[in-house]
Amino acid sequence: MDDQQFEPVVVSFCCNWCSYAGADAAGTAKMQYPCNVHIIRVMCSSMVHPNMVVDALNNGADGVLICGCHPGDCHYQDGNLRAEKRAEAIELMLEDFGLEPERFRLEWISASEGPRFAQVAKEMVETLRDLGPSPYRS
């Protein structure tokens, strides 16, 4: 595959209450962000088990983005703080698998931050373009 033609696939797990609404706000406001970002709505960012991230990477994703509520604003009290602890485990797993840490990102995005979601999505895709395809991509 020619690097000029490589388009990364990003799986983004977004919490229902904040970041999914932020992504929706970006779309409603017609803000441009790459179509390579595939959003999966979860009730809380803490529901994203590290195995889900590994499964996404093993099944063709070049990167995974988890977006949740800002600390202190979680609808499930401290779910996003649990997600942050899981992110540390995910980063260690990626290291064990020989994957670059930039293939995973955790961000806090509120419902009113549509422009921020669009910017994070763009940055993630640009970073992955620079890295190239995941070695686990078939």
Instruction: Locate 1 and state its tokens.
Output: 């595959």
pLDDT reported for residue 11: 98
Which CATH number characterizes residue 35's domain? 3.40.50.960
- 97 found inside a domain: yes
At 16, which amino acid appears?
A: N
Q: Is residue 137 part of a domain?
A: no
Per-residue model confidence (pLDDT) at position 59: 95
Confidence of residue 137 (pLDDT cuts 50, 70, 90): confident
What's the confidence (pLDDT) of residue 138? 73
Task: Please give the model's pTM, rounded to 2 decimal places.
Answer: 0.94
- 136 belongs to a structural domain: no
Q: Is the pLDDT of residue 3 over 80?
A: no
Q: pLDDT above 90 covers what percent of the chain? A: 95
CA 114 to mean position of chain CA atoms: 15
In a domain, 72, yes or no: yes
138 within a domain of the structure (yes/no): no
90: in domain: yes
**Into how many domains does the chain fold?**
1
Mean pLDDT in the chain?
A: 95
Phi, then psi, of 83 in degrees rounded to 5:
-60, -40
How far is residue 134's CA from residue 42's CA, in Å, rounded to a whole number?
Answer: 24
Q: Which of 2, 89, 8, 5 is nearest to 53 (CA)?
A: 89
Instruction: With respect to residue 100, please indicate whether it lies within any of the assigned structural domains.
Output: yes
What pLDDT is stored for residue 4 in this prediction? 66
Summarised one tens digit per residue, pLDDT across range 40-55 is: 999 999 999 999 999 9
Residue 103's region, left for phi above 0, alpha for psi from -120 to 50, else beta, is: alpha
Q: Please indicate, yes or no, if residue 3 is contained in any of the structural domains.
A: no
Which tens digit of pLDDT belongs to each residue from 58-96?
999 999 999 999 999 999 999 999 999 999 999 999 999
Q: Which residue range is the domain that position 26 belongs to?
A: 8-130
Whole-angstrom Cα Rg for the chain:
14
What's the rounded Cα separation, in Å, for the pair 110 and 124?
18
What pLDDT is recorded for position 5? Answer: 82
